[in-house]
Structure 1
Amino acid sequence: MKLKFSVLGEPAGKGRPRFRNAGAFVQTYTPEKTVSYENLVRLEYRRQCNDFKFPKDTPLDVRITAYYGIPKSVSKKKAQLMRERKIRPMKKPDFDNISKIVCDSLNDIAYHDDAQIVDAQVRKFFSDDPRVVVTIQEAE
């Protein structure tokens, strides 16, 4: 079984947990941008993949392709090179934070736990249509 879905908009990465003093205690919380993007990933997965959930004992292969928007400030020549994948984005969010936010979002939705992921790849490109494309399949 192979599932593929897209999340429209600029790629986002997993934010670091934040801490605040609450009297005698320190309270930990997740940044709002992270929570919002995780909810968007879940929503798009459910909408596009019909709530399919891989069995608990299935090793998985996850492929994530992040397409960043082409900045308006670049020349036409440079923008064309970006479209042709000759210039790749070396900017934040980092590939590991993209992977973390997507894989954590799908815990208990697409699979039981992201420990099932035994093979993964994250690729970054520029595009006129910023988005993240996720493919999940059984590992070979």
Structure 2
Amino acid sequence: MTIKYPAGGMVSKDVQPVDDDSVELTLRDHPLIRRYGRLAYLVIHGEPVPAGRPRFTRQGHAFDPKRSRDYKKLVSEAAALQYHSELLHGIPLKVDVKVYRHVQSSISKVERAKRLSGKHRPIVKPDASNYLKLIEDALTGIVWEDDNLITDVSCSKYYSDDPRIEVTVTETGAKRPNNLKEPHY
């Protein structure tokens, strides 16, 4: 099956259709959220692209490079197709991003196996934070009202034969651990 995004991007992928004729529930009452604690889980198929450094016009206006801008649009469209709940607002969020980069074809079979098993992880550019920033910006207005709701983040890079980005959004626990004392200034 080919996934076609409204702006023209597409990815060929085996996708199982989802029956979405469920009873209307509030976001926190949904069975998956009660079971897994997830507010959202998104998978964006295709080779991940990091946020590029902003470029400036002669007049001093900043803009994203075309590659980043196009990928941000693709992520937004993929998220809009997958996320059908209310816009998250007024709660602290934890966002976990897993970036799966394509394994290079010019490496040995032994090295390839190590990369696919997770023994060797990507320690090359781009930085995980560049992927994270693009995801935060792309999902603003689609999954969450504003990315200032994000209080906890994690971003991990892996190798895979199925390049993609997986985003899991949960509510941040508001409790402060007992073993931490208030800072004294």
TM-score when normalising by structure 1: 0.91
Letter in structure 2 aligned against 1:132: I
The reply on whether 1:59 has 2:92 as its aligned counterpart is: yes
1:77 CA drift (Å):
0.7
Q: Using the alignment, how far apart are the partners of 1:111 and 1:64 within structure 2?
A: 15
1:17 CA drift (Å):
1.2
The reply on whether 1:120 has 2:153 as its aligned counterpart is: yes
Letter in structure 2 aligned against 1:43: E
SS in structure 2 at match of 1:97 = helix
1:51 CA drift (Å):
5.2
1:74 CA drift (Å):
0.6
2:140 to 107, 114, 117: 107
Greater fraction strand: 1
Cα pair 1:11 1:93 within 8 Å, conserved: no
Greater alpha carbon shift after TM alignment, 64-73 vs 91-100? 91-100
User: For each residue in 1:69-97, what CA deviation from the matched residue of structure 2 results, as whole angstroms up to 9, or x when unmatched?
Assistant: 11000111110011110000012221111
SS in structure 1 at match of 2:95 = strand
The reply on whether 1:41 has 2:75 as its aligned counterpart is: yes
Q: Using the alignment, how far apart are the partners of 2:128 and 2:44 within structure 1?
A: 16
Q: Which residue of 2 aligns with 1:139?
A: 172
Q: Which residue of 2 aligns with 1:19?
A: 56
1:106 CA drift (Å):
1.0
Higher relative contact order (CA 8 A, sep 6+): 1
The reply on whether 1:5 has 2:39 as its aligned counterpart is: no
Q: Using the alignment, how far apart are the partners of 2:100 and 2:146 within structure 1?
A: 26
User: For each residue in 1:5-43, what CA deviation from the matched residue of structure 2 results, as whole angstroms up to 9, or x when unmatched?
Assistant: 11111221111111122xxx3333221111111111111
Identity %: 32
Unpaired runs of at least 5, structure 2: 1-32, 174-185
How many residue pairs are counted as aligned between the two chains?
136
SS in structure 2 at match of 1:39 = helix
Q: Using the alignment, how far apart are the partners of 1:85 and 1:44 within structure 2?
A: 26
Q: Aligned in 2, Cα 1:134/1:9: closer, same or farther, shift over 3 Å?
A: same
Flag as ranges the 4+ runs of structure 1 deviating above 4 A: none
Letter in structure 2 aligned against 1:30: D
Letter in structure 1 aligned against 2:45: L
Larger radius of gyration between Structure 1 and Structure 2: 2
Unpaired runs of at least 5, structure 1: none
Letter in structure 1 aligned against 2:113: Q
